[in-house]
Amino acid sequence: MLRTLSAALLITGAALPVLAQDTLTYGPRPAYLIDKLDDGALKTKLQSCLGQMPQTSKFSIGHRGAPLMFPEHTVESNVAAARMGAGILECDVTFTKDHELVCRHAQNDLHTTTNILTTDLAETCNVPFTAADGETGAKAECRTSEITLAEFRTLAPKMDASDSRATTPEAYQGGTADYRTDLFVDGATLMTHAESIALFDKLGADFTPELKTPSVEMPHNGFSQADYAQKMVDEYVAAGIDPSRVWLQSFLKEDILYWIESAPEFGRQAVYLMDEYDIEGYSPHDPATWPDTMQELKAQGINYIAPPMWMLVTTENGAIIPSALAKAAKEADLGMITWTLERSGPLAGGGGWYFQSIEEVTDNDAVTYEVLDVLAQDVGVVGVFSDWPATTTFYANCMGL
């Protein structure tokens, strides 16, 4: 059975230490990417920093930890991110049947991020496992809101994946992308939100919890959206965390406005995650399609926005440049954070969803540093989420961010 964070520390007899600077490491990936860059000013600058001592940087944000290779939202994933110098770590917050807060990317992802389908708790899934049949893929859906915290603690995390060809729940556990790995799954440790606060604080990192949009209708058994948003704040207050270290996030603007009104010390740096790309006809390059101008967001008290990378950049004559959205946000004095670097796998094929606005110039892994440089120097983002924070930490250290 999986150890929870509290049990893990009790069993080992020692808490996780604060990370000393000499324990930080970049590993081989930054140098690998730099080697692939075309000769020029960026390559020369980054090469000059090879061999530098890694330093923690708040520009580098661990996206669910370091899930390129570690099971997301686990102790091990976040320790790995901290060891790569991520100065801010993320817990995506969902709630259980008894309304306790836990770290999961979505309320309805237990079937792909844990072993629930191979346990007795499979009977709680709102969509039971259905085997693949011909061209119809296997499916399931399991939610944290259908199990108690005690039941959640019995689950074992795994890489976020599933095998659509599976005919058994056991086979459905596979499907890990070939550029990821299952090497660090064994013994991985789940966390509650409160446990993530204790861990991140011990690691010397700041906090960026995301209040995940519920999969269930709210209120849920008397638990309202406001209760949910407030409980997340309350757990930082209970832990004695200075609000200046906390970057609350939500895709729901109503949550951001709630925090601005009801918890202003936290709300002043709450981050509005932008998913306007789901609106038909929306384009980050055409202000006429935006539901709110950047000035209107600022006037509502919002100080930080977080669009995906592709919304902040475009191309012109083969060069990566800021988008209209990026320019307007800067003019409105909105802080910008973006997501997610190192989530797309090898970039030779265009980079997929996260690189869609610069697909025409995305033809090799070196574009990772090319787009990061534009985001930092031209767009002016203050932080970048990454699935492998060493890449971003190296850049931030080299550029003095």
Question: pLDDT tens-digit profile of 315-347?
Answer: 999 999 999 999 999 999 999 999 999 999 999
* Per-residue model confidence as pLDDT tens digits over 64-93: 999 999 999 999 999 999 999 999 999 999
Mean pLDDT of the chain: 95
Geometric angle at alpha carbon 45, from 50 and 319, rounded to 5°: 130
Q: Give how far the C-alpha of residue 380 lies from the chain's centroid of Cα atoms, to the nearest Å.
A: 20
The two tokens of residue 44 are: 């020369």
Structure token digits, residue 320: 């990566």
pLDDT at residue 20, as a whole number: 66
β-pairing, 139-141 vs 127-130, is antiparallel
pLDDT at position 2 is 42
Dihedral (C-alpha) 83, 88, 91, 92: value to the nearest 10 degrees? Answer: -130
Cβ atoms within 10 Å, residue 50: 13
Least confident stretch, 2-11, 316-325, 372-381, 383-392: 2-11
- Walk me through the domains of the chain, giving residue ranges and CATH numbers: 5-107+188-399 (3.20.20.190)
The token duo for 308 is 């995906």
| pTM exceeding 0.85 | yes
Rounded-to-integer distance, Cα 123 and Cα 264, Å? 42
Cβ-Cβ contacts under 8 Å for 41 (sequence gap 6 or more): none
Residue 62 scores a pLDDT above 50: yes
| Residue closest to 91 by CA, chosen among 219, 202, 192 | 192
Residue 177's SS3 state is: coil
Position 13 confidence tier, pLDDT thresholds 50, 70, 90 = very low
**pLDDT per position as a tens digit, 240-289:** 999 999 999 999 999 999 999 999 999 999 999 999 999 999 999 999 99
Ranges of H-type helices in 161-209 = 169-172, 193-202
The model's confidence at residue 165, banded by pLDDT at 50, 70 and 90, is: very high
